[in-house]
Chain A
Amino acid sequence: MKPKDTDDAVRYTESKLPLKTFYSPDDLKETDYKRDIADPGVFPYTRGIHPTMYRERLWTIRQYAGFGSGEDANARYKFLLNQGQKGLNVALDLPTQLGYDSDAPQAYGEVGRVGVAIDTLDDMERLFDGIPLDKISAAFTINSTSSIILAMYIAVAEKQGVSQDRIRGTVQNDILKEYLARGTYIFPPGPSIKLACDIIEYCLKNIPRFNAVSISGHMNEAGATGVQTAAYMILNARVHIDDLLKRGFHIDQIAPLIAFFTTSKEHFFESIAIVRASRRLWARLMKDKYKAKEKRSMLYRIGLAADCGNLIGRQPLNNITRIATRALSSILAGAQALALPAYDEAYAIPSEESARISLMMQHILADETGIPDVVDPLGGSYYVESLTNECEKKMNQIIDDIEQRGGMLDLIERGDIQRELAQQLYEEQKNIQAAKKTVIGLNKYALEDEDIARYESQMHEYDASIQERQIKTLNKIKSERNNKEVNALLKELELAFKREENVVPFIIRAVKEYASIGEIVQTIEGLYGRFRPETGV
């Protein structure tokens, strides 16, 4: 006898979507396979952007790494590449992300800490020493200073004899999520969007296979639910698309350069449904609203990472289990790339051992489980297809709501969304602290007097000598380069900004003469200032 569907104990996903006790064909009565699901690689791509997905080509194993100097990171990258990592995912230190050279007062204590320190092209050359850029692609988690990092990447590739059009890689270049969640913005929104779109335009013309922007979902870690984040990502992508359409480009020139990146969260099936819903929503948006003709414009290409914000510093080895569930949901969702944090990222940069465990996790899933052999294994599940439908519906509601309220850019500038997200996170934290939301090892099965210090013996150590070494190198570069030429190029860059030209070629020229990140940013800062938003608390 079929059990009744009871309402008295309703369960919800992380995004507050209600869950039935079980799902059946009745729940998919309105769903048409050809129209709404379709085969993998067929519009609207619900089941995957390629017909054969992992059978033919595995997701890119792209572990996030980087610290210290160019040489230090180079050694870690070679280790990871040796252990089967396929693409690089470069972490940059905060001074680099915020446009400060290693000798700036603001950089004190931060040089080479959370990522690699890059001051000039010289550091980038050390970073990629012995790594062939015609074979390995690099994704850079860089936003405000994307243009400078991209320029350096191009310069290094050229020195290796790899022409621009053969370069593969990504710059994250998503300034909107910086205002929303991550905080490494430099300039105000207007000039920042202009600069971001200059990068997309430059790549469109010169490096069309490059991911000039990776619209990201860090809002997941700043109080947004998974569905909200996915909706915001669509809206953020559109801000860039609309800007480039105004510049006279066609959607089929623009859309293929946009990639996406987000995190898989604790709700296993919702994380999968969100990605499937996003693929379908994006395809429909490109085709129906933007009138895209090319298949490449309609593909929602996404890299996934396990959510770091939910890694716990109590009984941290449990994080391996957490990371594994996110890894599994990411693969079942059909991600193009996967980056897994290490279990100790709750409190440190990964040690070599913890980094290795996460990397091996990818290999085990790829080579031992048989999961890659069949595309979209959850396709057709009454539950997953229903949840996919619900996610798409909710995403569209959020998108309509934001547009009615004035659009993403407007709301970000006013700080409205940031305030709402902080309020949401506050409510969630209160729930966790009241044990209304279970976190194992924290509010359930916690250990009294847990000896946390014992995990720290394996911790990655920050090398405090890096700051001195970087400053020494920087001073040497400055004394050896053609300073007259650098100054002239910085002046030309300033004028290019004033003339509202595409500034990327000017940045490339400056970078090739070993102008530093700080010098270039100061040039731009002179025009637009550093952005100080309302705190809204």
Chain B
Amino acid sequence: MSIAKKNPVRILVSKPGLDGHDVGARVVSMAFRDAGMEVIYTGLHQTPEQIVKSALQEDVNVIGLSILSGAHIPVCTRIMQLLKEKDATDILVVVGGVIPIRDRGQLQRLGINGIFDQNSTFDHMVQFIESQIKKADKTNLRDP
């Protein structure tokens, strides 16, 4: 059930790279939408450039990446680089999919705010994102 919120979180959900298994991203998009977020789902085969461009165009608070192919390090490195270049590092980036534990430290050091996998619940993901936004809002004032 959709809950209309005053300042809904805007999230871009995307499938970077060539991995074509998109049902997870679609399902998570539905969960975010039902939790009251405004979701833009880009579909498949997005390049990092396209993702960052869409994120800026859509003025999102969060980018959510769904990666199951194992290419998360090169993809995230490129995306974080682009966000830096565009001076858009206030956009939160969360990643879901198949992310080995051993790579999570590296992703966090790149600036990825949250990492989810098949065992993460919808509630956890929503709460995590909302709490991160709240934290960021305290330090970075955005227009309501």
Residues of A within 8 A of B (CB): 94-95, 97-98, 100, 105-110, 113-114, 178, 181-185, 221-223, 312-314, 346-349, 421-423, 425-426, 429-430, 433, 442, 452-453, 456, 459, 462, 532-533, 535-537
Contacts and interface: CB of A to CB of B under 8 A. Distances in A.
Name which of A100, A462, A537 has the most chain B CB atoms within 10 A of its CB. Answer: A537
Contacts of A312: 118-119
B75 A109 contact: yes
B47 A433 contact: no
A422 B98 contact: no
Contacts of A105: 47
B100 A535 contact: no
B123 interface: yes
Nearest to A181: B23
A422 B27 contact: yes
B30 A110 contact: no
Nearest to B19: A94
B56 interface: no
Contacts of A98: 18, 45
Nearest to A453: B101
Nearest to B49: A105
A456 B43 CA distance: 30
Interface in B1-45: 13, 15, 17-23, 26-27, 29-31, 33, 39, 41-45
Interface in B71-127: 71, 73-75, 98, 100-102, 117-119, 121-123
Given A422-B23, A537-B26, 19 more contacts: A94-B20, A100-B18, A105-B47, A106-B18, A109-B17, A109-B73, A110-B17, A178-B20, A182-B21, A183-B21, A312-B118, A313-B117, A313-B118, A314-B119, A348-B100, A422-B30, A426-B26, A453-B101, A456-B102
A429 B42 CA distance: 22
Q: Which 4 A-B pairs have the closest CB atoms?
A: A183-B20, A109-B74, A94-B18, A537-B41
Interface SS majority for chain A:
loop
A537 B29 contact: yes
B71 A456 contact: no
Contacts of A181: 21, 23
14 contacts: A94-B18, A95-B18, A108-B74, A109-B17, A109-B75, A110-B17, A110-B18, A178-B20, A181-B23, A313-B117, A425-B27, A433-B123, A533-B43, A537-B41
A423 B30 contact: yes
Nearest to A441: B119
Given A109-B17, A114-B70, A459-B100, A422 B44 contact: no
Nearest to A462: B70
Q: Interface range on chain B: under 10, 10 to 19, 20 to 34, or 35 or more?
A: 35 or more
A462 B72 CA distance: 12
B32 to A, nearest CB: 10
A110 B110 CA distance: 20
Contacts of B33: 537
Contacts of B26: 422, 425-426, 535-537
A429 B23 CA distance: 11
Given A114-B69, A313-B118, A347-B100, A532 B23 contact: no
A537 B13 CA distance: 11
Contacts of A222: 21, 23
A109 B121 contact: no
Interface string B38-71: 0101111101000000000000000000000111
A115 to B, nearest CB: 10
A157 B51 CA distance: 43
Contacts of B19: 94, 183
Contacts of A429: 27, 31, 122
Nearest to B123: A433
A178 B45 CA distance: 14
B61 to A, nearest CB: 18
B69 A113 contact: yes
Contacts of B75: 109
A270 B127 CA distance: 38
Nearest to A450: B119
B101 to A, nearest CB: 4
A42 to B, nearest CB: 39
A415 B23 CA distance: 13
Contacts of B44: 183
Nearest to A536: B26
Contacts of A462: 70
Nearest to B26: A422
B123 A223 contact: no
Contact of A109 (B30, B71, B119): B71
Contact of A94 (B17, B22, B27, B73): B17
Contacts of A452: 101
A536 to B, nearest CB: 8
Nearest to A143: B20
Nearest to B120: A433
Nearest to B17: A110
A141 to B, nearest CB: 12
A113 B21 contact: no
Given A422-B27, A433-B123, A94 B69 contact: yes
A456 B31 contact: no
Contacts of A422: 23, 26-27, 30
A103 to B, nearest CB: 15
Nearest to A419: B26
Nearest to A442: B119
A64 to B, nearest CB: 15
A106 B74 CA distance: 12
Nearest to B73: A109
Nearest to A432: B121
A445 to B, nearest CB: 14
